[in-house]
Amino acid sequence: MVKAHAPGAGPGPWHLGVIGGSGLAAGIGLEDAQEIAVESPFGDPSGPVVTGRLGPVRVTFLARHGAGHAIPPNGVNYRANIDALKRCGVTDVIALSAIGSLRQDFAPGSFVCADQFIDRTAGRAASFFAPGLVAHVSLADPTCPRLSALVIAAARAAGASVHEAGTYVAIEGPQFSTRAESRLYRQWGGDVIGMTAMPEARLAREAELPYALLGMVTDYDGWRDDEPAAEASAIMQVMHDNVALARAAMAELARALPQARPPVAIDRALDGAIVTAPALRDKVLAAKLQAVAGRVL
């Protein structure tokens, strides 16, 4: 594994972690690619990572749903995935995923760089921390503005139509929404809908990894009465049509990154977040958290 640059230690190299969703299991075309199985104390990740380069930038890719899309959204081990990327030394995480639109002007085929989330998932492990070692990180702004801006510019350079912000409603799945639910989420101020951003974004923040989400709009969910509701086959077709554009966006991002990566505040998200007294911390849990929180433990 590549050793991580110490957060807050001044400018260092970039190492992008890319989590690919539906349609991107084949990866993003890395050079000098090497497949590595990474063990996590939080269980099995979705599969091995593929690490290599996009131009001068180290990139590690992980297929969220595993080979052949065998893992449903509510079956993904999000903790193991983020822990595995942290163990690989990534500095920033970009999530690529399919999303449904809750707005007329967010048309299928366009991209949205989500910046807020409404979490409607249930039963997923949403934190690395637990009784015996308690921490509270800030999630008011759950994505990284710097990374998101870089991703937006790269996607546009690749020829994509990109909306710069949007509120993502994360549902449990694996079923799509009812029409009543879809209309309700629009009333709440949701712009797009998906099944995987939570707890992924929460866990990335606990792991002190800046996170950006580039969603590919595949459908209008179920709120429009004048057209069929979302169907998996149609969604996958739109996704496959946009895979080349997503890969091109990642290549543009690698070309555009500054040579050195200055620190950001998220690199130190755990400063002051752990509230359990040192003498009372669960030693077994602390050992599991060495990759995620070793800097402050």
Query: Has 282 been annotated as catalytic?
Result: no
Query: Has 221 been annotated as catalytic?
Result: yes
Q: Which residue in the list 92, 119, 191, 221 is annotated as catalytic? A: 221
Question: Rounded to whole angstroms, how far apart are CA atoms 112 and 162?
Answer: 6
Tokens representing residue 27 in the block: 């990866």
Instruction: Give 265's contacts (C-beta < 8 A, 6+ positions apart).
Output: none
Q: Which residue in the list 219, 241, 267, 282 is annotated as catalytic? A: 219
Dihedral sign for Cα atoms in the order 124, 128, 134, 138: negative
Tokens representing residue 64 in the block: 């969220």
Residue 8 carries which DSSP code? Answer: T
Ramachandran area for residue 69 (φ above 0: left; ψ -120 to 50: alpha; else beta): left
> Three-state SS for 267?
helix
**Which residues are known to be catalytic?**
219, 221
